[in-house]
Every structure is written in C-alpha cells, then in structure tokens.
Chain A
C-alpha cells in the first residue's frame, strides 16, 4: 500500500534538483541565451559538492562548492558564447559532455564515502505533527530556498526594473543595445546565475538526496529541467508545477515497482519523463500565447555593431 504522506515528502525531495536547475535556466533563457549545458553543470555541482562534504565535513560548504562548480562551468559557456560568439547550441552540448566526463574523473575514489548528515531546519517536535509535520517541516533548508527562489524569480521578472531589463534583452538585443543596456554583461551574469542554480541542484542530489556519488547520477535531470522551461512557457509557477509533477511521478513509480505492480519496469522507469512532457505540452498547446512569452532573441548571437 502507498502512503500519501511519504509520497508527498518524496515528491518534494525528488523534484528539488530539477526545480533549482530549471529556475536558473529560465532566467538564462529570459535574457535570450539557450544554455544546453544544464546537465553538465548539475553533475559538476554534484561531484564538487560531494567531494567538499567528504573532505570538510560541512554541508553548507558542500552546497556552496556545488554552486561554485556550476558557476565555473557556466563561465566557460559565457566566455565562449558571449565574448567569442560561438554557437550556443553546440557549445551547450559540448558543455554537457565535458561536464559529465570531468565529473567522472574528479569523483574517482569517492563512491561510497560517508557523509555528514544534512541538518533539518525545524525541531523534531514540529516534525512530529501528523501529516503536516513530515510534509512541511521535515526538510533541509535548501528545499525551502528552492521554492522561495521560484517566488523571487517571478517577482523579479514581473515587478522589478531589473526583470524588465532582463526580458527586454531577451526580446530584442539590438533594441536593448540601442537604448544603452549592456547586453553581454546582463547575459553573462544570467549565465552565472543559471550555473549556480544548476550546481546547487546537483549538490543537493548527491549530498542530501542520494548521499552518495555515482557516476552519471543526474540521469537526465538537466534535460528535464530544460524541457520544463520551454513547456512551462517561461513562467516560474509552471516550472514549479512541472518539477513537482516530475518528482511526484518519479516517487510514485518507485513505490509501484516496489509493490510489484504488473507493469513493465522499463515503462515505469520512463513514466516521469513521459508524463511530465505530455502534461506540459498540453498546457502550452495554445501556440500563439506560448510564442508570445518566448524570448524572441533566444539562442541568437549578439554582436554590437556601429
């Protein structure tokens, strides 16, 4: 029998790495940059976070190291695409391949190392409250930060001048340049933010959720994050919804496998990816409106002329 409370708890934990990576990528894409290297930045974040946790014994330092790892990798992407004007799609794909390879190299000897425990935010008495306790109060700080980040990004994009400039740069870099905005600087900062988010997501995966380093452990979470952004029509709330849906199906299918339901395992394994994409495609099927929200300059190379 499947317990709904533990299912929801699992959902929240499983969805967090994807959510972090996706919300970072959303900001990057809103400035008009398509960084396909999310998977690579996540796994670098996972390995640097894990190594730091093992070596220093500090979970906080581990998360910071994960963010730094993702940021450094994203800075490579930023230099190549923004300063050297390389193709964003090819560079992003290369970044993923590079990240996966480098992470495997760095992580040699670490699988199975023992980790410091990730502290919970709320006292045990609050976690003991039936139903609400495990769902609301039983998580480490990062999970709450991830949801707060969604709110913050939504507020930033919708209600602040910085957000307006970000959207303007993603809409038409030529017009933004003509008005005197520093297109390349804004995009570079967004790329670094996206790298930090992806790296944090990766570190959460290795340090908090799995508590182990396994080669290739992100298993396509970065690609799901990319798909989430597009099918969520670049809307932060829909990214949150998509991430929870993905996390929910992932948690559910594991329980179904354990319960030995009469469905092929391969189908159950692939169900989170399938269901998430099908649902988001249905949500965003109104092409005209989805297209309006898409950054018009997405993936285009900006070169200041004249």
Chain B
C-alpha cells in the first residue's frame, strides 16, 4: 500500500534545543500510527509541523503522493489533515456549534450545522447537544466537540494529541470504538500518547522519539509495554515500592465539607468526608474538573470553610489560612506548577522561602535569612535530583518535571504530618514521575499521611493504600486499592457520561 503521509528528514531547531532532528516515517491510509516519547522528546513540535503551526527548518513531507508544505492550519485542513488538541483549542463561553464553526473553513448556516453535528455524533456514537455552552461540558464531552469538529471535514489524517489523559476508562473504550470505525473507513490516525497499554490495544505501528530523534519503530501488538518503555526512556525503570506497615492514628479528618465554586465554570464540593491515617496514602481519582482544584483549595486553606469540616490531629482547622495550617503540619502542593505552586519569575531560593518560611525557620522577626534559604533550596535540589544550573535561577526556566520535583521536594523536606498533592506527575516524564512517587511513599513510610489527587489511575493503584473517586464534587467512600480493577474504578468515577449504547448506566458510586 502506498503511504498517505510520508515524512523525510524533518528538522526543527529552537534556540538552544533541537526539537526534531532528521525525523522520518510514513503512515498508510487507515493505519493507526502511534507516536511515542517522553515529554520533551519532540512529539508536539512534529505534529505542529504536520498541522502547519510550525514550519520545519529542513526536510520534506508528501501527502497522498504530492508535496505537502502547509503554511498555516487552514492549508493543512484544506489538504485533509485534522487535529484534536490536548488542550487550548475550545472556547468555554461559546456554544458547541459555534466552537465547531470556528474550526471549519466554510461553515454551513447555523441550522444546517446543528443538524450535521447531530448526524455525525449519532453515526459515531458520540452524543452531543450543539446548543450547549462548552464551559458546562465534562472533559470527555469537550473532546467529543473537537473530534466532531474534525470529522465534519472528512479528514484523511486525524492527529490526536494525548486524547485519553482526561477520560474515564469507559470513555476511553468509546473513543477507541470511534477511532477503529474511522480507521476501517480509511482515515489514518496519528496517535500521540505515553500510555503504552493503550497503544498496544489500538495502534498498528509505532514510531518512538527520544530527544528529537527517531530511536526505533515497532508493531505495538508484538512487543511488551516494558520493551516500549525502555526504548522511550533509554533505560529500564524501577517500580516504586515500600514495606507494608500498619496505619497509625487518624491525622486528617474531613466531614461534611461543602464549598461553592469561586469561578463560573468551577465545581461545587458536596458533603465530602474522608479520613487519612499516619503512614497511609489515600488516592483520590477522578477526571479533571470534578472538584479537584476546589478540594485542594479547601484543604490548603486558600478557601476557608467552617472550622469543624476539616480536623488535623483532632483540632478543627477549617477556618484557618494556609500559613496557620503549615504551622500545624498540613502542607499542600497544587496542580499548576507555574503560577500556583511556584512564582514563575522568582528564583528557586525565593520560592523556597514562600512556603518553607515557617517550618524551616527561614526568617526571623521579619528579616529573611537568605543563607538559610539558599541552604534549604540546595538541599531540595540535592535530595530530589532537580536538574538546574543553581538555586538562583527563575522557576520558569526549569522544565516541568524538574520544577515538579522541586515543589514536591520543598513540601516533603518540611516534614509534614499531612501532605496533599494534586496531579503530582502531570506532564512529568517517566523517570521523574517514578522518583516523585517513591518520595511520596517514603514520606508515608516515615509516618505522614499522604493524600494524592490524580487523574492517572495507574499511578493511584501503584502507590495508594485506599482509593476513592471524586465525581461532580462528591467523594465516594474509600476502598482498599489493592485488587481494584479498572472496570470497578470506572464505575466509581461515574462511568462515561451519557453513554448508554456501549456502557451500561453506572450505579451511583457507593
């Protein structure tokens, strides 16, 4: 079969880094082709070149036999290349139909468009109401908007960038069902992910990138996930582990926690209750936008609640602010690294002072002890293997994984009694993720209570003692993490949203 898209020697350099170095591969019509690699391997730059957002320095592409040099996304779409973005491409305050119209070259009249949206959504099992506001949709539904936007243009090649990172297991099933149907109709799919098991179930071929270069290709069904991981990272990874221990006394007790959202598209928290004991890791799973940020804000003290809703070692602390909670031993690391966990333009030393001031005694009667602060920052860098030229560089200059190691390390080294982390390994490469998980396990081993909020269910099953699901601002009762299957977790997460044809109506999480 002749290739639909053939890429030869694509190279793109940015100041200081070669994002893609002589990349070549080809995709046949109807093929599902995986593009594998860690963060920073150059996957995003590569697909941006195919979609016309970035122009290559050298190299060539052919699409359907003729030369293909898209100058802008419009040209790529006109040639039959469509892309579903990981994020940043929907408008929350506009309706589904308006969002779709914006991604089309020549949209039909609003009424015709609404009808076509409904036709396509029915044909591919992706129910969607064209009149709804995108800000009110769940992550899975938002992705459907993007997919339908692409499908309405009859693409020959569909690019999907990390499509499953925000979906429940059932929604992933539905997505794969749609993608297989598309592929059987002759649409080629370029599938970017670092979830190896998914690639093994879905993809026909895989190209593996490391540091901008193609380091291998394989047929995913024929090799093991561990083999692919090794090609991706370049070394084998140790699984985080710890000795079994009996949980101690209850350190954090939350009861009847309810909170209205601070933003129009936020999620209200409803009667959340949980208990975490010393030496225990509680995993809270759920698709983003189900109240994770609000829960973290309530636990960290950014949003005060009634005093009795949150108790630390028996003391009600619900009404106190973050500083008082740090003093009492409750530390938090929010999801957003730049701008929430760390001030982007301040140095690592200054960022160390921002949360470590009280517990590490970095100031005295209003004066910052810069010597002590620098020592603390250097200790974090040393202990957590943060790759940085030194503690005086701005937080913004660190890569996502390194900054994440730094902000998690900063909290861990303050010896918290309770640590709450939100998405500790989001967007972090595999080896850094493994070391962060190990650090969290070590902290629990030493007698702290750890709460991990994450969308990555594999991660939660790996490190949690108990698991509960956060769905639309409600927290399920916890269950022992050991022995839970993805199926059971999917049901706890509320299953797929209005997916009656494939998944059964989920039972309310217990």
Contact = CB atoms under 8 A, between A and B. Distances in A.
Q: Do A and B come from one complex?
A: yes
Interface of A: 161, 164-165, 167-168, 171-172, 174-176, 178-181, 288, 291-293, 296, 306
A140 B85 CA distance: 52
21 contacts: A161-B101, A161-B107, A164-B102, A165-B102, A168-B94, A168-B98, A171-B93, A172-B88, A175-B88, A175-B90, A176-B91, A178-B53, A178-B88, A178-B89, A179-B102, A180-B52, A180-B53, A180-B72, A291-B264, A296-B93, A306-B54
Contacts of A179: 73, 89, 102-103
A181 B101 CA distance: 13
A234 to B, nearest CB: 11
A167 B74 contact: no
B258 interface: no
Nearest to B105: A180
Interface string B76-101: 01000000010011111110001001
Contacts of A291: 263-264
A190 to B, nearest CB: 17
B98 A164 contact: yes
A172 B90 CA distance: 8
B48 interface: yes
A306 B88 CA distance: 13
Contacts of B264: 288, 291-292
Contacts of B92: 171-172, 296
For the complex of A and B, the 10 pairs showing the least CB-CB separation, nearest first, are A180-B73, A171-B91, A174-B88, A175-B89, A180-B74, A178-B89, A291-B264, A180-B72, A168-B91, A168-B102
B45 interface: yes
A293 B93 contact: yes
Contacts of B77: 180
Nearest to B134: A171
Given A178-B53, A179-B102, A180-B74, 5 more contacts: A167-B91, A179-B73, A179-B103, A181-B102, A296-B93
A105 B135 CA distance: 50
A82 to B, nearest CB: 19
Tell which of A165, A174, A175, A288 has the most Cβ of chain B within 10 Å: A175
A241 B413 CA distance: 59
Contacts of B52: 180
A171 B94 contact: yes
Contacts of B85: 178
B439 to A, nearest CB: 31
A175 B89 CA distance: 4
Contacts of B44: 306
